[in-house]
Amino acid sequence: MKLSLATFAILLTAASAARVTQQEADEAFECVRRSLTSVDQGNDGSQASCQFLYCFQDFDSKHNRGGLFGKLSYIIDPLCGAEGLVERVFSLGH
């Protein structure tokens, strides 16, 4: 569900822009493709969502197309970092 909402938001943002270049569209779809590939590889937790978030933020920085969603996405960056840290700590004990 998280991935679907984020995917919808980026596509809606790109579609509502005055002119979207083919490069921008390709890069936006690449963010989605990478996240779906990650899910296909078994990363169905927050890893795929955080991967999409980082890709979307790079897209926003490069093309200034993220709008309010792009700006607010930086608020949840620490959650992705913290979860990754927790997963690494617990995996060290196994």
Name residue, tokens 């999409």: 52
Question: Could you give the percent of the chain with pLDDT greater than 90?
Answer: 6
Q: Hey, what amino acid is at 42?
A: G
Three-state secondary-structure class, residue 20: coil
pTM over 0.85? The answer is: no
Longest dimension (CA), the chain: 52
Three-state secondary-structure class, residue 81: helix
Span 28-58, pLDDT tens digits: 899 899 888 888 888 766 778 888 888 888 8
Q: Where are the domains of the chain?
A: 2-92
Exposure of 78 in the CB half-sphere (CA atoms within 13 A): 1
